[in-house]
Amino acid sequence: MKTISKGLVWGAIGFVIGAGLLAVIRLLLGLSAWAAEPSITLGSLTAVPAWLLGVGVWDYWAREWFNLPLKKYEDTGWRRYFSFSADHKVIGIQYLVTLMSLFLIAGLLAMFIRLELMQPGRDYMDSATYNNIMSLHGTLMVFVGVATIMGAFGNYVVPIMIGAEDMAYPRLNALSYWFLPPVAIFLLASALTSGFDTGWTGYPPLASVNRMGQIFYNLAFFTVGFSSILGAINLITTIITLRAPGLSWGRLPVFVWSILGTAIISFLFTQFVALAMLMNLADRVGGFSFFDAANGGNPLLYQHVFWFYSHPAVYVMILPAFGIILEIIAHFSRKPLFEYNWAVFGMMGVVVLSALVWAHHMFTSGMNGPLRVPFMITTELISVPTGLVFLSALGTMWRGKMNLKTPMLFALGVVFNFLIGGITGVFLSDVPVDMHVQDTFFVVAHFHYTIVGGGIFGLFAGIYYWFPKMTGRMYNERQGQIQFWWMFLGFNITFLPMFWLGINGMNRRVADYVPELGGVNLFVSMASFVLGAGFLLFVYNMVVSWVRGPKAGPNPWGATTLEWMTSSPPPLENFTHPPRVLADPYGYGEKDAPAHAVVGAEAAAD
Amino acid sequence: MSASTHEQAAHGRYDQVTIDRTGFWLFLFSESMLFLGLLASRFYLQGTFRPEELSQTLGLAITMVLLVSSVTAYRAETAIAHGDQTAFLNNTLATIGLGVVFLGGVGYEWSQAFQHFPPNTGFGTVFFSLTGLHALHVLSGVVLLGLLYRNGRLGKYSAEDHWSPEAIVKYWHMVDVVWVFVYMALYLV
C-alpha cells in the first residue's frame, strides 16, 4: 500500500514536471501556459517514469547508480503482493489478479452492451454512451487477452518449468508489471473526461478529431506496449540462457515453446502499435500530419501500422492457450505428446506467418485491390500450422486414459470452440465473403470464438491447472466442473446465433439494428447474462479455495514437468537444489522411461 | 551495474554476461523495428519525393561525424577490454563530442527545414519524425556515454568487468547503423 501511494505521489510530481516544462516553452513562445491535450500528453509521458521510480525503481534499482545502498525487498507475507517484488512468483500472481479484475470489469461492460441490444431501437442509453462502453470493453479485453497468460503463467510457471530460480532480469520483470496501473488510470481518466468511441482499433480520421478521451486511449495502449516488449525480452532471454542442465530444446515442455513464440511476436511487433499511437498523438498535439489527407498524410497508414502489430497480437492471445491445452491434454490423457516436433513446428509457423497477414483486416478499406489476393492466401495458409497443433492435441487424446477434471474439460472446450472460430476465419479471409460480412456480427462472433473460446478458455484451463501450485490449495472440483459447463454452454448459445445475425446484416459497433432481428437478439442477450453470471461462481470458488481449500500437495495431477517436482507453492528459489534434466517430459506409458528430471539432494549428489 | 542480491542468488550457476548480451541484442533488434516502421511510413506517405531545399552538404557532413564517432566508440570499448583506462576515457570523450556535434548539425538542419517544410506538411512529417526519433536516441546515447565517462573516471571498469561500456557502445553502433538507413531514405532516394 505504501508502494502504491508513493508511486502516485511521484507520478503526480512527474506530471507537474512534464506539463510545467511545456508551460515554460509555451510562455517563451508567447502562448498560454496550459493547453489541455499537449499538457496532458507531455505530463503523462513524464508521469509514467516518475510513477515507476516511485513504486520501486528508485529504491531497489536506481540508488546504486548514485552509489547509495539499495532497500531490502519484502520477501514474505501478503504485503509483498502490493510491493515492488522481484520474485517471479509474486509478479505472476500480481499479473493474474490485476488482469482478472480488469477482465471482470470488461465483462460487466459487455452486459451493458447486450442490455442495449436486447431490443431494437435505443432503449437505455444514447449512441455516444453505447459507443464509449463498446470501445472500453474492447480495449480492456484486448489488454487482458494480450497480457494475462504471458504475464501470469509466463512469469510464474516458465522459470520453474525450465528449472531456473528466477527470470533473467528479475527487476525488469517487476518493472513490466508496474506499467499496468498507469494503464488502468489512463482508461479511467478517459472514461471520466469524455470517453472514446472509436472501438479498440482507434482509426483516424475519427481518432484525429475526436474528443479528448482519445488521447488517453493512445497513452494507455502505448504504455501497455512498453510492458509487453520488456516482458517479452525478459522471457526470451530466460528461456535461452537459464534452462537447467540437460534441458535441451527438444526436451522443452510445449508450454515453454508456446511462450517463446508469443514473446518473439511481442518483442518484434509491439513497436508498431506504439508507433501508431505516437503518430496519432503527434498529429493531435504536435501539429504533424501523418493521417491528414489534406496535408500530405494518409489515414490508411494508421491501419497498416496498427494491424502490423495487432494481427500478430491475436496470436499473442491464442498461442499460449495452445501451449496450455497441449500440456494439459498430454498429462490428463497419460500419453506422450503426439508428434511433439510437429506441434512445435506448427506454433513457430504461426509466428512466422503472423507477420504476413495484416492487411486482411483492410479488404474494404480502399487498399490496393490486387494486393488483397496475396493477403487472402497467406491468411488461409495459417490454418496449416494451426492444424498441426490441432492434430497434435487430437492424436494425444486418441486412445488415451482421459481424466476429465476441470482443466481437461476447459482444454477440450478450447479444441471445440477454436475449431468453429478457425473455420469461420477462413470465410473472413476470403475476399468476396469478407466484402459481405465485414464489420458485421459475423466478425464479432468469429473473434469471440477464437479469443474467448480459445484464449480465455485456455486461460481458465491454466488457472485451474496451476491453482494448486500457485496457492498450495485445491479448488472445489465439483464447482469447477459446474462452472465449465455453465461457461461452455453459455458461451456457445451466446455467440453461435451471432454468426446468423451478421450474415443477416447486423452491423457491429452500432447501438441499433433492423427490427426483424429483435427475437434473436433478445435470445442472445439473455444467454449472455447467463454467461456473465457464471463468472460469479468462478470468483467464489477461487476466493474460498484460496483461503480454506484442502492442501494440494506438490503434485496433485501426477504430472511430470518440473514445476510439479517442488513444493506447492514453491520456495523462494523454486528448488532446494538446481535440478538436472534426464529425458523428455512426456514419458507416459513407456516401459522403464527415465524420470524427466532429478531434483533435491539427488540432483546435487554428483 | 552490479546485480542485486536476489539476482545474484538466482543466477549463481550462469554467466551473467551471457545473459546480459542475449537480452541486450534482443533489445537492439526490438528498438530497430521502431525505425523500420517509420522508414516504411516515409515511402508509404511520400514515395521517393525529396524537396530540393534539403542540404546535401550538411547531411553528408553530419553522417560522416556520426560514422567517425562509431570508430572512437569502438576504440573506447577495445581499450577498456585491454585495461587501458586513459585511452578508454579519451575515446569516450571524443565520442561524446562527436555526438554533440551531430546533434548541433541536426538542430541547424531543423531550423532550415522549418522554413521550407514544417511538420504539418507531408515531407515535413516524415522528416521531423524520423530525425526527431533518431535525435532522441543520439541524445540518450550521449547521456549514457556521459555516465560511462563519469564512472570510468571513478575507475569502475576494468579488463575483467566492462559489460556497461560494451553495452553502451553497442547501443551507439545501433544508433549509427539506423542513421545510415535514415540518411539514405531522406537524402539519397
Contact yes or no for A233 and B27 at CB 8 A: yes
Whole-angstrom Cα distance, residue A226 to residue A172?
Answer: 11
Q: Which residues of chain A have a pLDDT value below 70? A: 75, 604-606
What is residue A606's predicted lDDT score, i.e. its pLDDT? 53
* Adjacent-strand bridge partners of A473: A551
Contact yes or no for A64 and B1 at CB 8 A: yes
Half-sphere exposure of B102 (CA within 13 A, CB side): 31
Number of structural domains (chain B) is 1
Chain A residues in contact with B119 (beta carbon < 8 A): 286-289
Q: Which amino acid is at B72?
A: T
Chain B residues in contact with A279 (beta carbon < 8 A): 41, 129
List of E strands, A201-329: none
CA-nearest of A44, A101, A354 to A226 is A44
Inter-residue contact B172 to B95 (CB < 8 Å): yes
- Containing A581, the helix (H) or strand (E) segment is strand A580-581
CA-nearest of A126, A129, A92 to A109 is A129
- Containing A580, the helix (H) or strand (E) segment is strand A580-581
What is residue A39's predicted lDDT score, i.e. its pLDDT? 93
Chain B residues in contact with A167 (beta carbon < 8 A): 10
DSSP state of A561: S
If contacts are CB pairs under 8 Å, which of residues 359-418 in chain A contact chain B?
Answer: none
pLDDT tens-digit map of A313-342:
999 999 999 999 999 999 999 999 999 999
What is residue A20's predicted lDDT score, i.e. its pLDDT? 94
pLDDT category of residue B4 using cuts at 50, 70 and 90: very low
- Cβ count near B146 (within 10 Å): 14
- Residue whose C-alpha cell reads 510457471 in the numeric block: A157
The answer to whether position A33 is within a domain reads no
Backbone angles phi, psi at A512, to 5 degrees: -135, 165
What is residue B5's predicted lDDT score, i.e. its pLDDT? 44
Grid cell for residue A171 = 527487476
CA-nearest of A40, A240, A279 to A158 is A240
The answer to whether position B4 is within a domain reads no
Contact yes or no for B122 and A240 at CB 8 A: no
Residues of B near A (Cβ–Cβ under 8 Å) read: 1-2, 4, 6-7, 9-14, 18-19, 22-23, 26-27, 29-31, 33-34, 37-38, 41, 44-46, 118-125, 128-129, 147
End-to-end CA distance of chain B: 42
Kindly tell me if the per-residue pLDDT of B2 is higher than 60: no
Range of the domain at A279: 73-593
Question: Prior bond to A569 cis, omega within 30?
Answer: yes
pLDDT category of residue B13 using cuts at 50, 70 and 90: low
Burial class from Cβ neighbours inside 10 Å (0-12, 13-18, 19+) for residue B151 reads middle
Range of the domain at B33: 16-188
* Adjacent-strand bridge partners of A578: none
What is residue A605's predicted lDDT score, i.e. its pLDDT? 63
Number of structural domains (chain A) is 1
Percent of chain A with pLDDT over 70: 99
| B10, B12, B26 ranked by CB distance to A237: nearest | B26
* CATH number for the domain harbouring residue A322: 1.20.210.10
The answer to whether position B170 is within a domain reads yes
* CATH number for the domain harbouring residue B24: 1.20.120.80
Backbone angles phi, psi at A311, to 5 degrees: -75, -50
The answer to whether position B41 is within a domain reads yes
DSSP state of A369: G
The answer to whether position A25 is within a domain reads no
Contact yes or no for B22 and A282 at CB 8 A: no
The answer to whether position A348 is within a domain reads yes
Which residue of A64, A70, A72, A169 is the best one to mutate when testing the B interface, meaning the one whose CB has the most B CBs within 10 A?
A: A169
What is residue B9's predicted lDDT score, i.e. its pLDDT? 45
The answer to whether position A22 is within a domain reads no
Contact yes or no for B120 and A289 at CB 8 A: yes
Backbone angles phi, psi at A193, to 5 degrees: -80, -70
- Containing A24, the helix (H) or strand (E) segment is helix A2-28
What is residue B10's predicted lDDT score, i.e. its pLDDT? 46
What is residue A597's predicted lDDT score, i.e. its pLDDT? 86
Q: Which amino acid is at A541?
A: N
pLDDT tens-digit map of B114-160:
999 999 899 999 999 999 999 999 999 999 999 999 999 999 999 99
Q: For A292-345, give the DSSP string.
A: -GGGT--HHHHHHHHHHHHHHHHHHHHHHHHHHHHHHHHHHHTSPPTTHHHHHH
Whole-angstrom Cα distance, residue A489 to residue A538?
Answer: 15
Contact yes or no for A166 and B4 at CB 8 A: no
Contact yes or no for A282 and B10 at CB 8 A: no
The answer to whether position A17 is within a domain reads no
pLDDT category of residue B82 using cuts at 50, 70 and 90: very high
The answer to whether position A438 is within a domain reads yes
Inter-residue contact A228 to A246 (CB < 8 Å): no
The answer to whether position A141 is within a domain reads yes
Inter-residue contact A453 to A410 (CB < 8 Å): no
Inter-residue contact A131 to A512 (CB < 8 Å): no
- Containing A598, the helix (H) or strand (E) segment is strand A597-598
